[in-house]
Amino acid sequence: MSEALLAPERAAQTPGVEREPALAIIDSQHGPMQVRPGEALLDTLERHGHQLEYQCRSGYCGACRTPLLAGKVYYPEPPLAFVEAGQCLPCCCRPVGDITLDLSHHD
C-alpha cells in the first residue's frame, strides 16, 4: 500500500513520520531510476526520458496523477488536486525511500 506524508519540516514535529532519504530509487516496468535528493518525481522521470502529461508542476491540476504501487511519498506543499490512496502527483512529491510507480498509462 502506498502512502503520502507531510513535508519533512512538519514530519520532524510528528512522531512516526519518516523523512526523505539521501537517495531513493523509483522502480517501474521500465526499470529503476535514481532520484536525486530534493528532486520532484516528475524531474526524475523526465531526466530518464519519460514524458508525463502535466500542466502546473505544483499539484494544482492533477494531470500527472500516477499510480503509486509501493512505497511512500511526501509533498513539501500540500497539493490542491485530490490524491487518492495509491496515487501520487509526480510534479510536486518526493519519495520517502524506494517507491514503485505504474507508468503504463503515461506511455
Amino acid, res. 102: D
pLDDT single digits (tens) 45-55: 999 999 899 99
22 near 91, Cβ under 8 Å? no
Assign 3-class secondary structure to 47-89: HCCCCCCCCCCCCCCCCCCEEEEEEEEECCCCCCCCCCCCEEC
Q: Percentage of the chain surpassing pLDDT 70? A: 78
Range 36-45 average pLDDT: 91
Distance CA 7, CA 53 (A): 24
Which pLDDT band, with edges at 50, 70 and 90, does 8 fall under? Answer: very low
CATH number 3.10.20.30 given to 2-7+23-106? yes
User: What was the pLDDT predicted at 100?
Assistant: 93
Q: Where are the domains of the chain?
A: 2-7+23-106
Range 3-28 average pLDDT: 54
User: What was the pLDDT predicted at 11?
Assistant: 43
